[in-house]
């Protein structure tokens, strides 16, 4: 496992979390992928790549927007996430979607028809070589094609994220809470990654969103459906139960009824 990710294995984590991910994503981060698609202004007849496509919400929306005549290719590293996406595509009756399991960092563009649009939502920070991934994705575009990237900013599931991290430190000081999404939380770092990829002229827009937290159960849905699941899996059963108990108590004591997410959106074009 790479030094950059410090042992965080997205494939195994999100394979295990796929159903919980789908449940929590609808309320707490699915909108980010949908906004990324929206910012790219898809048109009928266009060919779109969505990677990593996760559980497929943006795949379905993109497939609707490029119809008639357009196609969407969805790729994810986690087999179970692709299985959930396939269920969603089938339920929507979208025949213009191709889904497959693959590593986004090793996509081979030889013999592949160029795309008009590439969507990369909440995936950049999982790549060891982030500039290399961006170069690969921009290389999959036709001249003038659009690339949209979304990453979390400095605030993710706040204020409960910090409560979770601090409580884990108290209960299990030997367990590190890995947060790969923090690699690109700073706009200046994100812009540097883009520049290192040869993309000096990118448009970066930042949104702050306040999302309802209806009960302590909502917070645990987020934990078990996100990368924080890895932390819980590293705890013994009694420690995990105590962690949840303390988080629940904090929510009740401080009357926490929402979380805040900050998201950075990058939009750029291939030369030509």
SS (H, E, C) 223-268: HHHCCCHHHHHCCCHHHHHHHHHHHHHHHHHCCCCEEEEEEEEEEE
pTM of the model: 0.94
Closest CA to 102 of 47, 52, 61, 44: 52
Give the pLDDT confidence score for residue 152 in this predicted structure. 98
Alpha-carbon distance of 209 to 204, in angstroms, equals 16
As given in the structure block, the two tokens for residue 265 are 């959106």
Alpha-carbon distance of 159 to 157, in angstroms, equals 6
Burial (0-12, 13-18, 19+ Cβ within 10 Å), 129: middle
Tens-place pLDDT, residues 167-225: 999 999 999 999 999 999 999 999 999 999 999 789 999 999 999 999 999 999 999 99
At residue 2, does pLDDT exceed 70? no
The CATH-assigned architecture of domain 10-154+182-213+260-269 is 3-Layer(aba) Sandwich (3.40)
Tens-place pLDDT, residues 43-85: 999 999 999 999 999 999 999 999 999 999 999 999 999 999 9
User: Domain ranges in the chain?
Assistant: 10-154+182-213+260-269
Give the pLDDT confidence score for residue 3 in this predicted structure. 58
Q: Which residues contact 182 (CB under 8 A, 6 or more apart)?
A: 125, 152
């Amino acid at each position: 496992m790479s030094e950059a990710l410090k042992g965080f294995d997205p494939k195994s984590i999100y394979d295990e979390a796929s159903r919980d991910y789908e449940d929590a994503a609808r309320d707490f981060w699915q909108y980010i992928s949908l906004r990324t698609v929206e910012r790219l202004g898809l048109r009928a007849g266009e060919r779109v790549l969505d990677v990593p496509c996760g559980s497929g919400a943006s795949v379905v929306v993109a497939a609707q927007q490029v119809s008639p005549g357009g196609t969407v290719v969805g790729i994810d590293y986690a087999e179970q996430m692709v299985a959930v996406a396939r269920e969603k595509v089938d339920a929507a009756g979208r025949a213009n979607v191709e889904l497959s399991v693959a590593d986004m960092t090793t996509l081979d563009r030889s013999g592949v028809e160029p795309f008009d649009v590439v969507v990369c939502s909440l995936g950049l920070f999982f790549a060891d070589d982030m500039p290399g991934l961006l170069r690969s994705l921009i290389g999959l575009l036709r001249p003038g094609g659009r690339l949209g990237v979304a990453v979390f900013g400095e605030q993710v599931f706040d204020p409960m994220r910090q409560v979770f991290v601090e409580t884990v430190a108290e209960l299990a000081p030997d367990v590190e809470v890995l947060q790969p999404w923090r690699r690109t939380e700073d706009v200046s770092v994100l812009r540097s990654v883009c520049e290192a990829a040869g993309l000096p002229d990118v448009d970066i827009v930042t949104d702050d969103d306040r999302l309802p937290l209806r009960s302590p159960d909502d917070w645990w849905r987020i934990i078990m459906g996100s990368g924080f699941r890895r932390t819980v899996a590293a705890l013994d059963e009694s420690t995990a139960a105590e962690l949840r108990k303390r988080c629940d108590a904090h929510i009740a004591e401080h009357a926490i009824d929402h979380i805040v997410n900050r998201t950075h959106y990058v939009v750029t074009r291939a030369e030509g």
